[in-house]
Structure 1
């Protein structure tokens, strides 16, 4: 397998093979560290995951239900990471108020809210039986 950092057809320099996988993993962990450091919502949602995932795993429910409970919590974190990325890009573009910037941030926030509602619904249906 040839590994290269040559420019690909998109014009972006990149790596191939195992080097690409290693670099992508490093970038992912860098992003997780940055989100944890700079986003209090991520820290709060991770705390919820740390508290509620063990509870889900010890409940007397099916394995599929356990997966749904934990996955709903992880989904909230995934959506929050995307929302944080949107906010960072919008803030990078400029600090002045712009309708589209505000709309992008509001839509990202709405996505987090919907994922939280979904998680609460799943927990209510499964645990609140």
Structure 2
């Protein structure tokens, strides 16, 4: 059991390190807080809350994975290598696709409640 608790501790260390050091992750955490407040003020349904929470969790998780890819690439090579650039760009692209998808889904959830 101690081994599992240590693993959770390491995971929380990673999350805290990411929030403290990663500019994009800070932005996503701030955005998540804004969306959660907006959700409370808007009165979302249970299904809408579940969707929002999955989107927020996915966004934060993907940003952490992107940061990990960047760190691994930086650890492996200090020279500008096309494959290193591609690895970083692919990870960043995944984050961008998820962020755009999340924003669109958020609009589908919130806009009808606010303006229609």
Distance 2:45 2:21 in 1: 37
**Within 1, Cα distance between the matches of 2:52 and 2:38?**
10
Name the residue aligned to 2:51.
Answer: 68
**4+ residue runs over 6 A deviation:** none
Residue range with higher mean Cα deviation, 81-90 or 115-124? 115-124
Per the alignment, residue 77 of structure 2 pairs with: 94
State the TM-score, normalizing by the size of structure 1.
0.80
User: Displacement, 1:101?
Assistant: 0.7
Q: Residue 61 of structure 1: CA displacement?
A: 3.2
**Which is higher, the Rg of structure 1 or of structure 2?**
1
The alignment status of 1:109 with 2:101, answered yes or no, reads: no
Hey, what's the Cα distance between the residues in 1 that align with 2:15 and 2:106? 26
User: In the aligned structure 1, how far is the partner of 2:34 from the partner of 2:46?
Assistant: 18
Q: Which has the higher contact order (CA 8 A, sep 6+)?
A: 2
Output the aligned Cα RMSD: 1.3
1:47 aligns with 2:30: yes
Q: For residue 103 of structure 2, what is the aligned residue in structure 1?
A: 120
- Tell me, yes or no, if the aligned pair for 1:45 and 1:77 is still in contact at 8 Å: yes
Unaligned runs of 5+ in 1: 1-17
Residue 52 of structure 1 deviates from its aligned partner by: 1.2
1:34 aligns with 2:41: no
- How many residue pairs get aligned? The number is 112
